[in-house]
């Protein structure tokens, strides 16, 4: 079926005069996760990972993805003509380099202008033009071959109460306009769905796991336009927005309405604005390409958001405790599989007040499946949980009062000493990052080594980042901050919530990852300059039976004991007597 789809696309490419077609798998807003209508990478390849580029030529097809998806990509591309290119391996060309090597001078390469970012177009043109190849932005030609393509989403949108957000949309828009004034801007055009949701204190359900809605936002000096699908806003909410000066326009009106506006100096984010959007602002428009100011603003949580997310962590921890108790009771029977336990965990979370849904598809990887970093269990291929065994469980919830993301490794029976050793190494790195004290202005890549040192000492490593930003009832992956080996020039600031998730993965054996969310807070250690440190937010016991205390320093042991005391004291009041007894055992001191 995949090969048939590729051949149909090749016929359209030939009609359009294209020698190669690039598919990035994004939507018109450059979202990491998309509504089904824009799951183009998945549809054309069968690959379900969240990152990668596809290139189709008249004779060949390739998928480029990173180390998180090597094993998954190899499995999902079997039986197709698509070649997997493992980005980061020596002598593996990037997708643009491969195009240059494969095609003759003068060849024309296309991509959908609405799903190609301005920044991505620049990269494509730079590489192709210097090698005498031509980039041609094209229409959505996949629409010609995708039978029964999912419709454009349009789920209801709702307002998030100020008791959760801490600030009104008027406050946020005022901040943006102040920034525009400094930049001498007439307009700021926002394409990012998470930024629009945050600015307007609105949430939706157009994308699985992400409380977002398809829209654009145009902010002027004294005007504000929201482009959204008809019917997504209730009459009451529409009136509420209009009373605050928001002019509502149909999503489909974007092009015609922009053409009717007076031109001026406009800001576009090249990372999230598409080539299609860029093409709307021509002739007299003066364009300024820069990251949205709202990205930095929403990454720093206010006091209300921090208080709310701590409450969400408590609820999430209670759900996890109850799930793990259930799992331990039922695992030995040999009737559970990766899919059924993921569903059960979702059920426990759903019993919490303010629960909206999962923050991503639960990763329940048993034994060798745990080594597939972003594994997604399917009923037909899911492993049954047997004893002894090692389960990597990465999961999270969306609550009105915050977004959670946590990973634990659970076991049944006596596992090998290697599992205990590796778990302890990962834990050492996790603790060392959690204990970090650093001067204000420090970037994430300057902290990343702390989480890897214990593994590096034994000549081992992991291929993913150590930490990503997390939104407030928004995307579970949020910028601009990151903790990774990549030299991202973004400071870790007070109020940011970031994950702490080192890991180790042994193909055909098991995977280990320990993840908590950490909040950046002030440290009182600084004398002549400000210092920062982390507060761990996630509340769920670690697996004490996997910790080799001999390998831990006294400081690391103290961290484990202090963390477990906090977990018990936070969760115990919400538990029943037998549950509290269980938690007391699970949080005993080393």
Domain with residues 158-297, CATH architecture: 3-Layer(aba) Sandwich (3.40)
In the block, tokens 């042991």 appear at 557
Structure confidence by residue, pLDDT tens digits, 110-151: 999 999 999 999 999 999 999 999 999 999 999 999 999 999
Structure confidence by residue, pLDDT tens digits, 497-522: 999 999 999 999 999 999 999 999 99
Domain ranges of the chain: 2-144, 158-297, 300-583
Q: What pLDDT does residue 199 have? A: 98
**Alpha-carbon distance 48 to 68, whole Å?**
12
Do 300-583 and 2-144 fall under one CATH topology? no
| CATH number of the structural domain 300-583 | 3.90.230.10
* DSSP β-ladder status, 510-513 and 503-506: antiparallel
Q: What pLDDT does residue 556 have? A: 98
> In angstroms, what CA-CA distances link 237 with 75, 206, 213, 333, 405?
46, 18, 15, 51, 31
SS3 510: strand
Q: What pLDDT does residue 405 have? A: 98
Q: What pLDDT does residue 72 have? A: 83
Q: What pLDDT does residue 90 have? A: 86
Sign of the four-CA dihedral 536, 541, 547, 552: positive
Q: What pLDDT does residue 275 have? A: 96
Q: Which ranges of the chain have pLDDT less than 70?
A: none
Sign of the four-CA dihedral 244, 249, 251, 255: negative
CATH superfamily of 2-144: Creatinase/prolidase N-terminal domain (3.40.350.10)
């Amino acid at each position: 079926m995949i090969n048939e789809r590729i051949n149909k696309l090749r016929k359209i490419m030939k009609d359009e005069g294209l020698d190669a077609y690039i598919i990035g798998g994004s939507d018109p807003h450059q979202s990491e996760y998309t509504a089904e209508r824009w799951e183009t990478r998945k549809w054309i390849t069968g690959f379900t990972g969240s990152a990668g580029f596809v290139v189709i030529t008249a004779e060949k097809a390739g998928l480029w993805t990173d180390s998180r998806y090597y094993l998954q990509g190899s499995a999902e591309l079997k039986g197709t003509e698509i070649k997997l290119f493992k980005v980061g391996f020596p002598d593996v060309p990037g997708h643009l380099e491969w195009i240059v090597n494969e095609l003759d001078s003068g060849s024309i390469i296309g991509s959908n202008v609405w799903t190609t970012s301005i920044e991505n177009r620049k990269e494509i043109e730079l590489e192709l033009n210097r090698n005498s190849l031509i980039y041609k932005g094209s229409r959505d030609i996949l629409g010609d071959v995708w039978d029964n393509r999912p419709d454009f989403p349009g789920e209801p949108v709702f307002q998030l109460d100020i008791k959760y957000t801490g600030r009104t949309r008027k406050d946020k828009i005022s901040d943006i306009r102040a920034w525009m004034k400094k930049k001498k801007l007439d307009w700021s055009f926002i394409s990012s769905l998470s930024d629009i949701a945050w600015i307007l204190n609105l949430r939706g359900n157009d994308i699985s796991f992400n409380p977002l809605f398809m829209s654009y936002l145009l902010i002027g000096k004294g005007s504000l336009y929201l482009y959204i699908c008809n019917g997504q806003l209730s009459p009451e909410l529409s009136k509420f927005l209009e009373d605050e000066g928001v002019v509502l326009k149909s999503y489909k009106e974007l092009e015609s309405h922009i053409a009717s506006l007076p031109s001026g100096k406009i800001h576009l984010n090249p990372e999230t604005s598409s080539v299609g959007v860029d093409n709307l602002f021509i002739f007299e428009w003066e364009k300024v390409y820069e990251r949205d100011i709202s990205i930095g603003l929403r990454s720093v949580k206010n006091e209300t958001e921090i208080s709310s997310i701590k409450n969400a962590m408590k609820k999430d921890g209670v759900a996890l405790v109850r799930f793990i108790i259930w799992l331990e009771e039922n695992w030995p029977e040999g009737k559970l599989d990766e899919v059924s336990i993921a569903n059960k965990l979702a059920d426990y979370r759903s019993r919490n007040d303010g629960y909206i849904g999962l923050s991503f598809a639960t990763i329940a990887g048993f034994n060798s499946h745990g080594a597939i970093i972003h594994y997604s269990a399917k009923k037909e291929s899911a492993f049954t949980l047997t004893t002894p065994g090692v389960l990597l469980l990465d999961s999270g919830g969306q609550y009105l009062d915050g977004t959670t993301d946590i990973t634990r490794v659970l076991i049944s029976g006596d596992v090998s000493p290697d599992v205990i050793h590796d778990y302890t190494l990962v834990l050492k790195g996790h603790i060392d990052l959690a204990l970090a004290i650093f001067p204000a202005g420090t970037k994430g890549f300057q902290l990343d080594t702390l989480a890897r040192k214990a593994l590096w000492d034994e000549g081992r490593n992991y291929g993913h980042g150590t930490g990503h930003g997390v939104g407030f009832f928004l995307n579970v992956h949020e910028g601009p901050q990151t903790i990774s080996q990549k030299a991202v020039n973004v400071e870790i600031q007070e109020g940011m919530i970031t994950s702490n998730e080192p890991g180790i993965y042994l193909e055909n054996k098991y995977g280990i990852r320990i993840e908590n969310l950490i909040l950046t807070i002030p440290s009182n250690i600084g004398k002549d300059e400000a210092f920062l440190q982390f507060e761990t937010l996630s509340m769920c016991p670690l697996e004490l039976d996997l910790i080799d205390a001999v390998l831990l320093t006294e400081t690391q042991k103290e961290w484990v004991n202090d963390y477990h005391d906090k977990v018990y004291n936070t969760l115990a009041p919400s538990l029943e007597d037998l549950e509290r007894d269980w938690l007391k055992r699970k949080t005993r001191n080393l």
